[in-house]
Structure 1
Amino acid sequence: MAQQSCASEVKIGVVADWPPLTAVDERGAYGLDVEIARKVFSELNICPRFLRLPTSARSLDQLGKGAVDVLLMVSYVQERAELGVFSDPYRWEKMRLFSLRQPRMAMDLKALLRLGYRIGLSIGSYYGEELKNLADNPDFGHLLVGISGSTQRVEMLAKKRVDFIIEDEILGRFMGRKLGIKNFYIWDYPVHNNQVHFLLRKGLFDAAQLARFNGVIKRLRPDIDKLVEHYTHHTVPRGAH
């Protein structure tokens, strides 16, 4: 098959340990948001070059320094808008609590923290204002434990070193299957529902190019929705049969 000839190339930062959303191994980058990026940039005749990055915080740092051109799956936060330009949103992200204990009704984050439960989080990720305010509260901040990778967060939960973790719903379900954890429960409590975007390096696109980019996202939304549905219910660990 002939290699695609591209008008230009972009460097896309990929967090290495968020399967099945973004991941990198010896065969390259893969996952839901990587597939979406390939679809969008292919429509623009731009070749993506995916660069492995360890955490969301490092990704933002690299974008600010101009080492990468694009980040995937970024929630809108005003501070991040100072680092780059947000595209239109391309899918919804649903952050949920996972635990080894059966969910109880009417238990919110503050109630769990008041009981002394420890919650594992991704370093540098944004989980909404509720959690941000709790992290700033000296009574609760020490119970929110930053853990760099999704595999590590799930393993910390399995070893009972934290009582809960917060993950994207798709990622959490996938990791529970991949690691074969028994009694792995997802709570209905909506920690944070928000739309995610591409975050583009300032100066990457002019106004007309950005409008075209957003138009491609809009046109591809039915295809993106189908991909999201597939990854939510049908993904298996890479290499499994």
Structure 2
Amino acid sequence: MLRLAFVVLLIIGSFKVFACAKTLKVGTNERNWPPYVVAVNNNLTGVEIDVVNTIFNGSPFCLKFMLLPTSARAFEELKEGRIDVVFAASITSDRQSYAYFSDTYRDEIMRLYKYSDSPDINNLSDIFYRDLTLATGRGSYYGAAFAQFKQNHPAHVIMMPTADKRFAMLSKNRVDYAIEDEVAAQYFLNQHPSIELVTSMAAINKSSIHLMLSKKSINQAELQTINELIKQNKSNIHAIYQLL
């Protein structure tokens, strides 16, 4: 442990000496997920991009952002070590088998949204009993209760690659409900007046959010360095999210 701590301090102390000791490939599938990620001519902007850049600013790591078709594809690329980092990730036991998780850098609340004419429901089981449909992100994690619902009623869960496509489908009543991060959802509600929050249900899931790091390309010393970077930039990260 002392040796690892020494290595971490050595790396951190060398930030100004080595401009770019290692380039980390950062993958995401989101192209229109305001305020977190917005792609303009394949250049990524948004709050989450600002936070990731803030974490690694002045570090020995350079970043290369990569757009992928789905979050499931991003996780597969991470598993094989073809990308190094996925941001905005929740911890699951399956993901821990092939990835390290950084210390948390924000919290996330997932809520249920509906087409305006869809009925208010009290729990996910009502979707099955009323023969309704629910749009979710392919490869995304929404907590244990949703995982059980998806396993029991797969025909009622429509998996889609990105948030903007889920809300576009919901606004046209091609699905009855969708699950989304409450901050991002507010942007889509402003665009689609036919969509509203399901107020009769509590949040679908609340979880801490982390950087997900490939075990094939990131070592323990680098993980410790990244955690130290998050700690050092905590106030700057908080200030970015306070602007939302």
TM-score above 0.5, yes or no = yes
| Structure-2 change in CA distance of 1:173 and 1:102 (3 Å) | farther
| Structure-2 change in CA distance of 1:195 and 1:28 (3 Å) | same
Query: Which residue of structure 2 aligns with residue 97 of structure 1?
Result: 112
CA RMSD between the two structures: 2.2
Q: Is 2:45 the partner of 1:34?
A: no
Counterpart of 2:30 (choices 9, 12, 16) is: 16
Larger radius of gyration: 2
* Separation (CA, whole Å) in 1 of partners of 2:120 and 2:232: 40
| Structure-2 change in CA distance of 1:107 and 1:25 (3 Å) | same
Identical columns (%): 25
In structure 1, stretches of 5+ residues that fail to align are 232-241
The answer to whether the Cα contact below 8 Å between 1:15 and 1:22 also exists between their aligned partners in 2 is: no
Query: Which residue of structure 2 aligns with residue 174 of structure 1?
Result: 187
The answer to whether the Cα contact below 8 Å between 2:113 and 2:177 also exists between their aligned partners in 1 is: yes
| Structure-2 change in CA distance of 1:192 and 1:18 (3 Å) | farther
TM-score w.r.t. length of structure 1:
0.84
In structure 2, stretches of 5+ residues that fail to align are 1-17
TM-score w.r.t. length of structure 2:
0.83
* Separation (CA, whole Å) in 1 of partners of 2:218 and 2:118: 46
* Separation (CA, whole Å) in 1 of partners of 2:212 and 2:110: 19
Query: Which residue of structure 1 aligns with residue 70 of structure 2?
Result: 55
| Structure-2 change in CA distance of 1:43 and 1:111 (3 Å) | farther
SS of 2:95 mapped into structure 1:
helix
Query: Which residue of structure 2 aligns with residue 234 of structure 1?
Result: none
| Structure-2 change in CA distance of 1:92 and 1:108 (3 Å) | same
Counterpart of 1:118 (choices 133, 136, 159) is: 133
Moved runs in structure 1, 4+ residues, more than 6 A? 102-106
SS of 2:203 mapped into structure 1:
coil
The answer to whether the Cα contact below 8 Å between 2:135 and 2:178 also exists between their aligned partners in 1 is: yes
| Structure-2 change in CA distance of 1:18 and 1:77 (3 Å) | farther
After TM superposition, list the pairs within 5 Å mapping 1:128-207 onto structure 2.
Answer: 128-137=143-152, 140-177=153-190, 180-188=191-199, 189-202=202-215, 204-207=217-220
* Separation (CA, whole Å) in 1 of partners of 2:197 and 2:183: 11
The answer to whether the Cα contact below 8 Å between 2:38 and 2:45 also exists between their aligned partners in 1 is: yes
Count of aligned positions: 224
Which residue identity lines up with residue 147 of structure 2 in the other structure? Answer: K
SS of 1:153 mapped into structure 2:
helix
